[in-house]
Amino acid sequence: MNSLKDRLRTDLVTAIKARDDVRSSTIRMILTAVTNAEVAGTVAKELTDEDMLSVLSTEAKKRREAAVAFEEGGRPESAAKERAEAAVIADYLPAQLSPEEIAGIVTAAVEQLDAAGAGPKAMGKVMGLVQPQVKGRADGAAVAAEVRRQLG
C-alpha cells in the first residue's frame, strides 16, 4: 500500500465524518480513478505514488477544462463545482511551479542542448529534457508555450 493512497482513504473518512460533501465526493472520485488505472491493461497492478500523481494531474486538468467549458456555456454554478473539486485535488499534488521557475528550467534545457534559435524543430528534444523535471508540478501547455517562446 502506498502512502498517497493511505492518505486519501484517511482523508475520505475525515471528510465523511465532517459531512464535507464536496471533499468526500471528490476523494471518492479520485480513488475510483486510481482503481480504474490499476485495473487498466492486461495485468492489474498497484500504482506507485508517482503513478498516482499522474492520475491526479489528469483529473485536475479535467476539472479545469470543465470549469472553463461550463463558464463559456453560461453555467457558473457548475463551473464553481468543478473549481471546488480542482481545489481539493490540488491539495494532493505537489506545489505548482511559477512561470518564472518554468522559464528557468526551460532556459537551462535550451542552453544544455545548445538549441537557442533552433526554432520549432528542437521542441521535441527540449520538451523531452524539461518534462521529467516538471512532471506533476506544471501544466504541460504552459511548459510547451514557454519552450516555443524561447526557441523563437
| Residues 122 and 109 sit within 8 Å (Cβ to Cβ) | no
Domains: count for the chain: 2
Percentage of the chain modeled with pLDDT above 70: 97
**C-alpha–C-alpha distance, residues 79 and 76, integer Å:** 5
What does the pLDDT read at residue 117? 66
- Taking all residues of the chain, what is their mean pLDDT, rounded to a whole number? 87
Say if residue 144's pLDDT is above 70.
yes
Same domain as 56, residue 122: no
**C-alpha–C-alpha distance, residues 134 and 21, integer Å:** 32
| Residues 85 and 63 sit within 8 Å (Cβ to Cβ) | yes
**Residue of 143, 3, 1, 7 lying closest to 88 (CA atoms):** 7
Q: Which residue has the cell 465523511?
A: 16
Q: Looking at residue 108, which CATH number applies to its domain?
A: 1.10.10.410
**C-alpha–C-alpha distance, residues 113 and 110, integer Å:** 5
Q: What is the pLDDT of residues 5-38, one digit of tens each?
A: 899 999 999 999 999 999 999 999 999 999 999 8
| Domain encompassing residue 146 | 99-151
Same domain as 58, residue 113: no
Assign 68 a pLDDT band (cuts: 50, 70, 90).
Answer: very high
Indicate the pTM of the whole model. Answer: 0.74
For residue 30, give the H/E element and its range: helix 21-39
